[in-house]
Amino acid sequence: MDFPIVKVLKFGIKYEIDYMHPQEEEAVRALLNSVIVEGKTYPQKQPLSQAEFFSYWLSKDAFVVRASPVNDTQKPKEILGAFYLKPNFPGRCSHICNAGFIVQASLRGQGIGRFMGESMLKIAAHLGYEAVMFNLVFETNIASIRLWQSLGFEIVGRIPRAAKLENEQVVDALMLYRTLP
């Protein structure tokens, strides 16, 4: 599979997905921590330290979305979104992967999540995974649920009262699953 994967999204802007580079780790950790602090989609309650981030996000494959360069003199590219891809289970079940996604709050709804989701499915299949499973998609994360269902995921389970959101609202979490071609 060739990287970067480039696509023109809304407003004619080119975006690229590529493996995360070491110099981008801190920007992705900051983005993840901002999503964690929002308290709506990730189970963590506190921002992750560098070591915690490494263990959680960088344990296998990590990718970023950047604006594609216009020319070689362009300033360093801002991280617009990111995702990880790793086995969901060990050993005999490691052919089922898990992924986590983040997008800058100001850029949500512009197709970056869909671009990452579609690309993740291709990358996961290329890496030899046979299925993708999401363990905790909070039922209040409607945009995410719609996206994953539109990409062929099925809801295979519900965990009652799984998450206590930032506002103390208690919500169920869904488990989503999709086999890969």
Characterize 19-34 residue by residue with b for buried, 16 or more Cβ atoms within 10 angstroms of its Cβ, and e for exposed. Answer: ebeeebbebbbebbbe
Q: Stretch 144-173: mean pLDDT, rounded?
A: 96
Amino acid 80: pLDDT: 95
Other Cβ atoms closer than 10 A to 76: 10
Pair of tokens at residue 152: 């062929």
Distance CA 111, CA 99 (A): 18
Could you read off the pLDDT of 71-109 as tens digits, one per residue? Answer: 555 556 889 999 999 999 999 999 999 999 999 999 999
Neighbouring C-beta atoms of residue 121, cutoff 10 Å: 19
What local confidence, expressed as pLDDT, does residue 135 receive? 97
Tell me what pLDDT residue 76 has.
63
For residue 141, what pLDDT is reported?
96
- Reported pTM: 0.93
pLDDT digits (tens, 9 = 90+) for 115-147: 999 999 999 999 999 999 999 999 999 999 999
Contact 174, 160 (CB under 8 A): no
- Mean pLDDT in residue range 156-166: 95
Mean pLDDT of the chain: 94
